[in-house]
A and B are shown apart, each in its own frame.
Chain A
Amino acid sequence: MSASDRRTGRRIRLAAHFPGVNNTTVWADPRSHSQIGFGSFAHLARTAERGGFDYLFLAEGLRLREHRGRIHDLDVMGRPDTLTVLAALSAVTEHLGLAGTLSATYNEPYEISRQIATLDHLSGGRAAWNVVTSSDAFTGENFRRGGYLDHADRYERAESFLRAARAFWDSWDTDALSPHTGTRGTARPGAVHPVSHRDRFFDIAGNATVPRPPQGHPVIIQAGDSPRGRDLAAAQADVVFSRHGGLEEGREFYADVKARLPAHGRDEDDLLIMPAATLVLGDTEEEAAERARHIRYQQVSGATAIQFVEQVWGRDLSDHDPEGPFPTVEPDLDTVVTQGKAAARFHDRAAKAREWRDLAEAEGLSLRELVVRVSARQTFVGTPRTVADTLVEHVETRACDGFVLVPHLTPGGLDEFVDRVVPLLRERGALRTEYEGATLRENLGLRPRPAPDRGATREPSGAGEPTPVPGP
C-alpha cells in the first residue's frame, strides 16, 4: 500500500446486515445460533466493528409471513424490536453505525423522530434510519391505522413524514443546553423552537423533548427503486440500499441516481449507493464454488423448494417429490398464496411458469434443482483475493460505493470475511484501519447537516457547531 493509492482509490463502504427472516439465512447448520438472543446481535456488531464496517443494519417485518393461509414455518422466524436492539448495541460498540428499517406507515413522525434522536444521543452520533413505506393491508392488520394508505400516496406521505421528523431534529439550537448564567440546568431561553407541521397527512404541533441529535440529522437510508423512489433518495437520503449488486446493472443504477443529485443542489459524494450482497469464500475457486453449492442446498430444502414453486403456481404442490420431476400440472394464476414481506415478487407468473418449465425440461432438473438454479444465488464466490478484487472493482468503476453484506449464518456469518478479506482490503487502502470520525455521518464522509439559519435574532453559537453548507 502506498500513500498515493490511498489518495486516488475510492474507499469501500461496508455494512453488516443481520441475517434476515427468509431462506437466505441457514438455520439447519450446527453453527447457527439464536435469531433473538442479544448475544447474536452483539457478536455480529463486534465483528463488523473489528472489520471497520460503517454500520450494522437491522431489517424490519411487522407481520409473520403466511403461505397458503398458514404461517410460513420453513424459514427462521421472529425478531426483536429494531430500535430496542440498536439501543442495546450502542452499549457494546464504540464506532459502528446503528441502522434500522422503520416504517413511515405504521409509526407517527413525532415518536419516530424522538426515538431516533434518543438513539443518536445514546450512541454518540451513530444512528441511521432506513425509511420505508408500505400500503400493505395484511401488515396493517397489526396496527391502529390499518392498511388505508393509497399506493399513490406512499411517497408523498413518506416525504411529509421525513420533513416532520427533520423539523423536530432542527427545533433545538445546537447549544440549547450549554451552561448559561441564571439558567442553570435548563435550556437557554428561546433555544427550543416550536414545530408546526400540517398537511393532508399530518396535523402536528409542539416542542421536541430531545436536543438536536449529535449528527444534526441521523443518517437517512432509502431503498426505493422506482423513478419516484430514486427521486426521493436523491432529494432526501444519505445512503441508498440498492438491489443492483451486479457490475453492469450497478453502473446503470449508480449513474441514474447520482445524475438526479444536482437538481437538489447535491453532488456525487452526498449520496452513497450500497447494494445488498452475499458472498462465499474458499481457499481455491473450486472450493468456494463447492461451498456455495452446499449453502444453496441448505437454503433450499425440499419443502422450501415446493413452497417457492407454489408462489408462482398458486396451488398446493405438496404431493410432489422435491427431488422428482418438475410439476406438469397447470398453474392457477388467479390465486395468490403468499402474504407478507417477500411476497408478490413475481410480476408475470405465467411467463415465469413457462420459463421454469422449459429450463427444467431442457436440463433435466428436479424441482429442487430448478429452484436452486433460479432463486437468488450468492453475489460473490471466490478466494479472499478474488472477492476483494471484485469488491474494489465495483467501487472503482462506480457500480456502487460499497456493500451491505448479508451473511447466511447467525451470528458468525461475517467472521471469515473480516478475518480474511478485510486485511486485503486494508492492505490496498480501500478500507479504513481505524475510524476517522466521531459520528457515522463523519465516517461515511458525508457533509455535516447544518443547523437551520434562523436569522439574525439568534446569538452566535458555541464552538463545535458544524459550518453551514448547502445540503439536502
Chain B
Amino acid sequence: MAHPLHIGAAIDGAGSHPAAHRSTPAAPYELFTAAHYAHSARLAERATLDYVTLDDSFAAPGRPGVPGRPDALLTLAALAPVTSGIGLVPTVTTTHTEPFHVSKGIASLDHASRGRAGWLVEVSDTEDDARLVGRRPVAPAEELWNEAGAVVDAASALWDSWEDGAEIRDVATGRFIDRDRLHYVDHEYVRREDARPEDGPHAEDTGWTVRGPSITPRPPQGHPVVFVRADTDDRLRTAARYADAVLIRARTPERAAQRRAEVHRAVRGAGRDPGQVRVLADLGIVLDRDRRIAEERSARLDALVPGDGAPETGARGTGISGAKPSAPSRPAATFAGTPRDLAREIEAWSEAVDGLTLRPAVLPVDLERFAADTVPLLKEAGILRTARTADTLRGNLGLRRPANRHAPTARTAPTAPASEGAPR
C-alpha cells in the first residue's frame, strides 16, 4: 500500500486561478460570507483532508477579480464551530501587525477549534501594504523574513508563557492560577539602529519588544502548526528555523523531491529534525469528466488573464494592477484532466513530498469534483487516509505536541489533551 499523503486545499475566494472570478458560480458578495468558505471547508473535511488554507494581505491581491478579501483569521474562526476535523490555516502577516495580537489570535483559533489551528506566516512587502498602515516604508525581503522569524519566535514564546495546567482553581488557598507557571517573554527584535526623523511620524519604531505573558492560555496543540512558504532563500531560512510545514512549488515530482532535499538540509542546518517537518507542494487542479474538456477549460481560463502569460496559480501578486510580486515565483504544477487521472498524478507525487496543497482553479466546482470523484480512488489506493488519525491538526500531520520550554521535564505528549470545555 502506498504511503498516505497529507492533503490540504486552498479555499481562496473564487478559486486559485487568476481568472477564477470569470467562471465561479459564486456572486462577488458571497466571497465575504462565511457560507461560501464553509461549503469548501466541509467538502475538504468530508474528504478527510488534513487542512484548508486561506490567504490574506492588507492590500488587495494583485490580480483581477474582486479587489479585496475578508480577514483570513476571522473567516476561518467563523468556520471553527461548523467543522470538527479539518485543520484551519489562515495567512496572518507579520510586518505591520502586533506580534502579541497575532499570537493570541492564532492561539484563540486553536482554542475555538479544539486544536485544529495552523498559521501560514506571510510578510507585507508592497508599497500598498505599507501605505495602508503608514508606520514604516517597505523593507527588503531579507529584513522582512528575518522579522517574520522573530515574530514566530515571539508568538511561540507567548504560547509557552502559560504552562499547561497553570490554571489550578485551588479553593483552599484562593488561587486561580499558579503564577510560578506563568512566564515573562521579554522578546526583543531590533530592526534598525539608524532611524531618521524623515522616516515619518514613527521613526522611533526601530524594532519591538514583547514583555508577556500572553493573556491567552497555552493553546490545545501547544503550538499551532506553523506553515511557511519557502520559495526564496530568505523564506527558506525562516522556514528552516521555525516552520512545521513548508510549502513549496515545483513543476514536477522530481523537482519537488530535489526541493524537499534542500528544505531538509536547511532544517538540519538550523539544528532541527527534518522528521518533524512536513514538505507540501502546491498542485493547481482543473477537473472535468473528459480530459480534453478540462484542458480546454484550463486554456480558456489562462486566456482570460490579462498580460502575457501563464498564470502563476497560487502566486501572490501577478504584477497586475501594479502590485509588486511577493516573491520571484517558482512555477507551480497545475493539473488539468479527469478526476481519475488526477488520482494517478497525485500518486506520482507521493514519494516526492509529504503532501500536497491542492489549489482548485475555480471554487467550489473543482473542489467538488475532486471530493466526489478523486477522493474515493485515492482512498482505495491508500494515498489518502479513510479516517482521521487524531483530533488535532498537529496529530493528523504526524507532528509531536511540543513540550513547553518552561516545563520542568522535557516530556512530549503524542497528542493534545482534550480542550477544556463548558457544558453544551
Of residues 62 through 88 on chain B, the ones whose CB sits less than 8 Å from some CB of chain A are 64-71, 73-75, 77-82
CA distance A206 to B322 in the complex (A): 13
Minimal Cβ-Cβ distance residue in A for B201: A203
Contact A74 B81 (CB under 8 A): no
A91: contacting residue among B73, B80, B99, B217, CB under 8 A = B80
CA distance A2 to B109 in the complex (A): 47
Size of interface on B: residues with Cβ below 8 Å to A: 83
Of residues 87 through 129 on chain A, the ones whose CB sits less than 8 Å from some CB of chain B are 87-88, 90-92, 106-108, 110-111, 114-115, 118-119, 121-122, 124
Determine if B14 is an interface residue (Cβ-Cβ < 8 Å). yes
Known contacts A75-B176, A304-B174; A187 and B216 CB within 8 A of each other: no
CA distance A141 to B209 in the complex (A): 7
Determine if A36 is an interface residue (Cβ-Cβ < 8 Å). yes
Minimal Cβ-Cβ distance residue in A for B136: A144
Chain B contacts of A87 at CB under 8 A? 73-75, 77-78
A192: contacting residue among B65, B67, B134, B174, CB under 8 A = B67
Determine if A186 is an interface residue (Cβ-Cβ < 8 Å). yes
Known contacts A79-B216, A185-B22, A186-B65; A84 and B423 CB within 8 A of each other: no
Provide a sorted-by-A list of 24 A–B residue pairs whose CB atoms are within 8 angstroms.
Answer: A37-B111, A38-B81, A38-B111, A46-B424, A62-B215, A63-B211, A64-B213, A74-B176, A80-B108, A84-B77, A88-B78, A88-B112, A91-B81, A108-B96, A121-B33, A121-B70, A141-B211, A148-B204, A184-B21, A209-B60, A210-B70, A302-B174, A303-B175, A411-B423
Contact A91 B182 (CB under 8 A): no
Known contacts A33-B422, A36-B111; A204 and B73 CB within 8 A of each other: no
For A73, A108, A204, A410, which residue has the most chain B Cβ atoms within 10 angstroms? Answer: A73
Of residues 1 through 47 on chain A, the ones whose CB sits less than 8 Å from some CB of chain B are 27-28, 33-34, 36-40, 42-43, 46
B344–chain A nearest beta-carbon distance, Å: 32
Determine if B409 is an interface residue (Cβ-Cβ < 8 Å). no
Determine if A211 is an interface residue (Cβ-Cβ < 8 Å). yes
Determine if B407 is an interface residue (Cβ-Cβ < 8 Å). no
Binding site for B on A (CB under 8 A): 27-28, 33-34, 36-40, 42-43, 46, 61-64, 70-71, 73-81, 83-85, 87-88, 90-92, 106-108, 110-111, 114-115, 118-119, 121-122, 124, 141-146, 148, 177, 179, 184-187, 192, 200-211, 301-304, 410-411
CA distance A256 to B341 in the complex (A): 73
Contact B215 A61 (CB under 8 A): yes
Contact B215 A122 (CB under 8 A): no
Chain A contacts of B176 at CB under 8 A? 27, 73-77
Known contacts A144-B205, A186-B66, A187-B66; A107 and B101 CB within 8 A of each other: yes
Chain A contacts of B205 at CB under 8 A? 144-145
Chain A contacts of B135 at CB under 8 A? 108
Determine if B27 is an interface residue (Cβ-Cβ < 8 Å). yes
Chain B contacts of A73 at CB under 8 A? 175-179
Contact B174 A74 (CB under 8 A): yes
Known contacts A142-B100, A143-B98; A84 and B79 CB within 8 A of each other: no
Known contacts A39-B423, A73-B178; A80 and B112 CB within 8 A of each other: yes
CA distance A192 to B58 in the complex (A): 16
B174: contacting residue among A81, A177, A301, CB under 8 A = A301
Contact B134 A119 (CB under 8 A): no
CA distance A38 to B21 in the complex (A): 35
Contact A211 B74 (CB under 8 A): no
CA distance A36 to B112 in the complex (A): 9
Determine if B294 is an interface residue (Cβ-Cβ < 8 Å). no
CA distance A87 to B108 in the complex (A): 11
Minimal Cβ-Cβ distance residue in A for B68: A209
Minimal Cβ-Cβ distance residue in A for B58: A110
Chain B contacts of A43 at CB under 8 A? 422-424
Determine if B295 is an interface residue (Cβ-Cβ < 8 Å). no
Contact A74 B71 (CB under 8 A): no
Known: A80-B104, A106-B98. 5 other contacts (CB 8 A): A64-B215, A90-B78, A108-B96, A185-B14, A203-B200
Contact B79 A107 (CB under 8 A): no
B204–chain A nearest beta-carbon distance, Å: 8
Determine if B287 is an interface residue (Cβ-Cβ < 8 Å). no
Contact B169 A85 (CB under 8 A): no
Determine if B131 is an interface residue (Cβ-Cβ < 8 Å). yes
Contact A142 B133 (CB under 8 A): no
Determine if B302 is an interface residue (Cβ-Cβ < 8 Å). no
The proximity string for B residues 8-41 relative to A, scoring 1 for CB distances below 8 Å and 0 otherwise, is: 0000001000001110100111001110001000
